[in-house]
Amino acid sequence: MHRRLAAQTAFRFFGLFLGFSLFASPLLLRASSGKRVHLAPRFVPGATLRYNIESRAATTGTTTTPIVNPEGGTRSSVTIHLLVRLDVLSPPTSGAARLRATFEKSSAESQSDAFDPAQPPISDQYAGLQGQYLEFTIAPGGHFTDIKGLDDAPAIRAARQSSLSWLAGVSFAAGFPADGIEIGQKWKSERPVEGAPLAGLAWHVEYTYLRDEPCSPPPGVGAAPRPSASPDSCAVILSRFEISRAGSPHSDATPEDYLRNGLRVSGSWTGSGENLSYVSLASGLLVRSTETSDQQMDYKITSAASGSNVHRQAQVHAQSEIMFDSATSVSPTK
């Protein structure tokens, strides 16, 4: 159980930290004079885009359960490698586009000082993801709708849960003021954290449009014509974020689905980090992104009927990188 909780934590918040800062409703803070740009992605039917995604997380901590387990783990690490192919299936309609994401390559390595024979190895979960696909619509505001595909077998269920968040990072569909942005501008966003074991958690993000500089590698194919004065230019966006919960750390923080199952949750979950992204000014597509984050958690899940509980204390340090693969992405046939 110790290893299972650690693995679930790593899977869930790999994806959340990777995708969160790109999908939020912004609140403008300050703007400087200059040219305003709009960075909504331009998806061209028939285009194929490929992205390499690398993620690493190291977790330290303990899980205390009613049954003492002397072999319970205190340290674990996970490294994940993905090559994701994005095919644009239909032209945008009312701001929405239909895409298919195929996991052409998927692998993972993990280390842990505990062993749980009941938990499928992480390497098996990500091996099972290879060759799977998801079809989805990116709606205005960056929300995924009408999701289809991807086998929900137990061996890859955790990988499936995190895959949409990785795709959120790749598609970079939202996070900008509707009236455009300009160099030096700052804006904020706030959104709830979904799927966490504590209710009331929220992201607090501050963005800064730092500068323009040449994209490396070049932006995605199928883009609108590039301005001749600034070929292959990218907007460089810095996002700094925190995760916190309103109220006292000792107050009830039970999500509704836990309540329905006779459980109560209390404790704290905090985190912080930053993301540096390069977005093509011509196409609005993400060219590359790097992110680091740290999380601290200390919470109890208690049975209302028996009073027994599971107490989780952990620290997670994560790093991720998304890189556009210009060598294998192709333009639509004309």
Q: In this model, does residue 27 exceed pLDDT 90?
A: no
Lowest mean pLDDT among 100-114, 156-170, 171-185, 196-210: 156-170
Question: Domain holding 316: CATH number?
Answer: 2.30.230
Residue 212's domain comprises 2-324
Per-residue pLDDT of 158-167, as tens digits, reads 565 666 666 6
* Measured distance CA(157)–CA(58) in Å, rounded: 21
pLDDT of residue 182: 92
Query: Is there a domain that residue 93 lies in?
Result: yes
Higher per-residue pLDDT: 149 or 54: 54
Higher per-residue pLDDT: 28 or 72: 72
pLDDT band, residue 206 (cuts 50/70/90): very high
* Measured distance CA(113)–CA(103) in Å, rounded: 30
pLDDT band, residue 65 (cuts 50/70/90): confident
pLDDT of residue 169: 60
Q: In this model, does residue 178 exceed pLDDT 80?
A: no
pLDDT band, residue 213 (cuts 50/70/90): very high
How many domains are there within the chain?
Answer: 1
DSSP string, 110-156: EEES---TTSPPHHHHHHHHTT-EEEEEE-TTS-EEEEEES---GGG
pLDDT of residue 9: 43
Q: What is the mean pLDDT of residues 245-259?
A: 82
pLDDT of residue 28: 43
Q: In this model, does residue 19 exceed pLDDT 60?
A: no
Q: What is the mean pLDDT of residues 213-240?
A: 64
Query: Is there a domain that residue 238 lies in?
Result: yes
Query: Is there a domain that residue 330 lies in?
Result: no
Helix (H) or strand (E) holding 259: helix 256-260
Give the number of other CB atoms < 10 A from CB of residue 95: 11
* Measured distance CA(4)–CA(121) in Å, rounded: 10
Residue 91: alpha-carbon gap to chain centroid: 25
* Measured distance CA(24)–CA(127) in Å, rounded: 31
Q: What is the mean pLDDT of residues 134-143?
A: 77
Query: Is there a domain that residue 334 lies in?
Result: no
Q: What is the mean pLDDT of residues 172-190?
A: 79
Higher per-residue pLDDT: 284 or 158: 284
Query: Is there a domain that residue 54 lies in?
Result: yes
Helix 157-171 and helix 2-19, axial crossing angle in degrees, nearest 10: 20
Burial (Cβ within 10 Å: 0-12, 13-18, ≥19) of residue 143: middle
* Measured distance CA(54)–CA(56) in Å, rounded: 7
Residue 61: alpha-carbon gap to chain centroid: 23
* Measured distance CA(220)–CA(324) in Å, rounded: 7
Nearest residue to 283 (alpha-carbon basis) of 233, 229, 333 = 233
- Given a contact cutoff of 8 angstroms between Cβ atoms, the answer to whether 185 and 238 are in contact is no
pLDDT of residue 333: 59
- Looking at the DSSP bridge assignments, the partners of residue 239 are 207, 275
Query: Is there a domain that residue 331 lies in?
Result: no
Structure tokens at 130: 């290879």
pLDDT band, residue 242 (cuts 50/70/90): very high
Q: Which of 3-7, 55-59, 163-167 has the highest mean pLDDT?
A: 55-59
pLDDT band, residue 134 (cuts 50/70/90): confident
- In the chain, the percentage of residues whose pLDDT exceeds 70 is 71
Nearest residue to 167 (alpha-carbon basis) of 224, 97, 239 = 97
Q: Is the dihedral of CA 58, 62, 67, 69 positive or negative?
A: positive
- Given a contact cutoff of 8 angstroms between Cβ atoms, the answer to whether 254 and 264 are in contact is yes
**Would you give the DSSP letter of residue 268?**
E
**Would you give the DSSP letter of residue 258?**
H
Amino acid, res. 297 = M
pLDDT of residue 142: 66
pLDDT band, residue 118 (cuts 50/70/90): low
Peptide bond into 214 cis (omega under 30): no
Query: Is there a domain that residue 288 lies in?
Result: yes
Q: How far is CA 106 from CA 119, 124, 168, 286, in A?
A: 19, 10, 17, 21
pLDDT of residue 165: 65
Query: Is there a domain that residue 332 lies in?
Result: no
pLDDT averaged over every residue in the chain: 77
Higher per-residue pLDDT: 220 or 72: 72
